[in-house]
A and B are shown apart, each in its own frame.
Chain A
């Protein structure tokens, strides 16, 4: 059982990372108005919200599986308090990223924060959370030695950077979003 929890921890972690990157991309494409006209903005926003929520759900599954894996040494304290695990920093990145994701999701759902400026600042912490997730995956990951994981890791990091770049350049162009 514990062995399967170990594998489930790894797989849910990978899927959660993919979902976070996808949510980030969808959000930046949407807010920078680079979504084209084929699909309505409502579609992009709806999927962005869903991907963000799904990422948080898989993040929760990742934590649950790590907790149930008796060989991981992850307990409630290690889940809640950064720096208390045997591998202090690698796990701490994950804990901090999870807090970031929780704040980002629950300031948008079920109701968005009233003050747009605050909401926007909080929402942008998802970029930092994504960076922490990458650090967590690289430093803790049991699959870092795997070539497929490395290629996927680099591709995901590139995609996330591309999304951020698209948004930054549209701001520089003066095309701001109302959302």
Chain B
């Protein structure tokens, strides 16, 4: 018995020392910050609840509570700033565009759709040839929309084409490539500005309708057509 004890003494003392260290670490987890990479990297989820670094008290569930709050606040703040910033930037670019044309200056907080005068004056009316009438231009957040309507001598709507359409980015160009032929086709078959709204091109559809209606109204006032 004595021999066994004396033979295993060094090992027992080493194990006892390690157990003591483990117990001490378990008792005071706050001391275990930035320790040996092997221990700290072998992370187990239960350690999180007992973590004590960075001002986090024992028993708290999240080790990065302050950083979490900061991330949430930064995200919300960025979203808000971007929303208003993008709106303001769009308003600014619209103001520059229209101001440069010397027609009308639109304030940044103006409603999205603003009637603008036609780009070119209507050509002289002749009874024998088809007549081309430009509609009013309308503004939406993605750009301006203006159509040009061609009327036959008997007042029928022969053709509609877009003079202005939103083309400031790839998305708008794609949408208009898809929407414009459908809108033109609908208007010609209906012989009217009452076209169905194209899904994904609501602003363009609405402004197309308004611009075409203004062209028809102008043509009717000049006696070119009887369309309503």
Contact = CB atoms under 8 A, between A and B. Distances in A.
Interface string A45-72: 1110011001000100100000000111
Nearest to B80: A11
A12 B170 CA distance: 20
B71 to A, nearest CB: 6
Nearest to B38: A178
Given A8-B79, A37-B37, A46-B67, 18 more contacts: A11-B78, A11-B79, A11-B80, A14-B82, A18-B78, A41-B40, A54-B72, A54-B75, A58-B75, A70-B202, A86-B175, A86-B201, A87-B200, A90-B171, A141-B169, A142-B142, A142-B169, A143-B169
B51 A72 contact: no
B86 A73 contact: no
A104 interface: no
A10 B43 contact: no
Contacts, number: 139
Nearest to B89: A146
17 contacts: A10-B86, A15-B82, A39-B34, A40-B34, A41-B41, A42-B63, A45-B43, A46-B67, A46-B68, A50-B68, A58-B75, A74-B200, A86-B175, A86-B200, A144-B170, A177-B41, A179-B41
A6 B141 contact: yes
A159 B144 CA distance: 37
Nearest to B200: A73
A151 B87 CA distance: 20
Contacts of B68: 46-47, 50
A43 B142 CA distance: 44
Contacts of B54: 39-40, 43
B4 interface: no
B48 interface: yes
B79 A12 contact: yes
- Say what secondary structure dominates the interface of chain A: helix
Interface residues of B, number: 47
Interface of A: 2-4, 6-8, 10-12, 14-15, 18-19, 22, 33, 37-47, 50-51, 54, 58, 61, 70-74, 85-87, 90, 112, 139-146, 177-179
Interface of B: 33-34, 37, 40-43, 45, 47-48, 51, 53-54, 62-64, 67-68, 71-72, 75, 78-84, 86-87, 89, 112, 141-142, 168-172, 174-175, 178, 199-203
Contacts of B71: 19, 22, 47, 50-51, 54
Contacts of B168: 145
A105 B174 CA distance: 34
A49 B128 CA distance: 74
A109 to B, nearest CB: 11
Contact of B48 (A33, A45, A141): A45
A11 B200 contact: no
B58 to A, nearest CB: 13
Contact of A11 (B63, B82, B201, B203): B82
Contacts of A12: 79
